[in-house]
Chain A
Amino acid sequence: MRRSLFGRTWPNVVALVLFVFFVFPVYWMVTTAFKPDLDIISTTPVFIPFHGTMGHFDKAVHAAGFWTLVRNSFTVTICSVVLSLLVAMAAAFAVARMRFRGRKAFILIVMMAQMAPWEVMTISVYMIVRDQDMLNSLVPLTLFYMMMVLPFTIWTLRGFIAAVPKELEESALIDGCTRLQAFWRIVLPLLAPGLMATSLFGFITAWNEFPLVLILNKESAQTLPLWLTQFQTNFGDDWGATMAASSLFTVPVVVVFLFLQRRAVGGLTAGAVKG
């Protein structure tokens, strides 16, 4: 049953082509950010920046209010993800472990909520927040971002909770734990990787969000995506600075991704999934 030489090589060749396809835009972003201007606008693209410069990063980092934006983005993202995990954990536990009247209706609500087209509801959200006198604040932004990721978080956590063997929990109960203790001591530790994997999605969504912050926070409490979409007004056609700013914006997500992905893999599935 050995495969021919061709049969063994083509998958690798295809994989290599795909690798380039997926990595190139990221590579191009990062290298452009390091290139001096002359290399950026040269008629022959410079593929490897031998004459690297930190100038563009310097410019991006020193753009007005950059660090405030960074702080705001992190605060909103982390708070909304954590809040949604807390709320979702309770709901997901109920859906995964309990049978109750209205369970199906609740699932339907979650599915509908997952579809909510936030992008087209900006004006009603704006009017609500305006009438509560809460514009230019991180609080409504955090709450709405929490809501944006909540359905998905419930949906996903439910799967993770269902995967924790019920018998473990039950034996804890027999040992005299309360249900809460059993959850806290048995289910939660097993769930931690699932929580992390789930928070990935929340992190990306909140970190990316742009139409809502565009209309809610015109004066202050702005976030990075807003700044980045205005790069042409910020940096003119300075592609180096724009790419540096984009790189800086991407780095946290990549870090979170690599970190959480590894944890999720290492924790829950060691030995469970071969390969």
Chain B
Amino acid sequence: MKLVLSSSPHQHVRRRTNQVMRLVIYAMVPGVMAQLYFFGWGVLVQMLIALATALVSESAIVALRKRQIGQALQDYSAVVTALLLAVSLPPLLPWWMTVIGTFFAIAVVKQLYGGLGFNLFNPAMAAYVMLLISFPAAMSSWLPPGELAAHAVTFGDVISVIFTGFSQSGYDINQLRAGIDGVTMATPLDYVKTQVSQGYTYSEAINHQQFTDSLWSSASLGWSAVALAYLLGGLVLIQQRIISWHIPVSLIAGVAVTATFLAMINGDVYGSALFHCVNGAVLFGAFFIATDPVSASTTPRGRLIFGAAIGFWTVIIRTFGGYPDAIAFSVVIMNMAVPLIDYYTQPKVYGQQRPVKQTEGEP
């Protein structure tokens, strides 16, 4: 009798790549819900546009590369990339920008590097950076959180603005951005940055209608809630062992330490650690972006370094750079450093005195 041969091990834990990806998508649900609540239907529309673009781009490129389309789509990696990008974009971004960004993420950043597992950069963040540099005004045009908005934006308005540039009532995006006081509203980070640059102190800056006047005085309305919703999803991911704790913890610690250090130097100019953590994309980035396994560091020590460095760069760029938020920039910067980090943080192998740092080339 002829027997069938296979290689050991003959047993596998039953969690496959697509299950991992699906779990990531599920973990995004609380954050997306919060975004829908505070920023309207735009998020959902952007997600759909990005998803469609991602699937089409992925299929096209995979077909060009003569690979199996079905297998490529089944791993859900393109879906995750599309969703991560979509939730990062301003809800009323013109549709074609989302399409360009998603296509760039899938086709250029991922597939041109060899597909899943081979991309050097985080696709969603690389695309976000590309869009931010190309269309800085549009990429900064966030609506004020619902409670503070002067104009109620209906689902029909959202569709209309995204695809035509004007709402059904004829308002354009800048008009829609006006707050209840009639002033065009910037994002909290942008607002504080502008105020501080105009000579106001940090505490004066956060004494604004955008910021809650509760214990969380430095937390902004809406934005902080969204951030905390993503934190919740992230904790689920850790609990499910989809991601390890290393990167989120070290990233948040990196932000906190850098921010505290700066605040200690001059608390009037630099925001507190809490301000930096709950505003902007730090929590979202810590759990959903920086933990992208493909482009992150893979060794335990390396992950700590990777996360902490992203946190550091985020605060530095937010404070001294030209953009209000900097998670995308920081992640892309540290993606470049990953091979180096991985090489120098190899764990000590059993029976070795210390990890071998071999020099290039055989002696």
A binds B: no
A binding-site residues for B, Cβ under 8 Å: none
B binding-site residues for A, Cβ under 8 Å: none
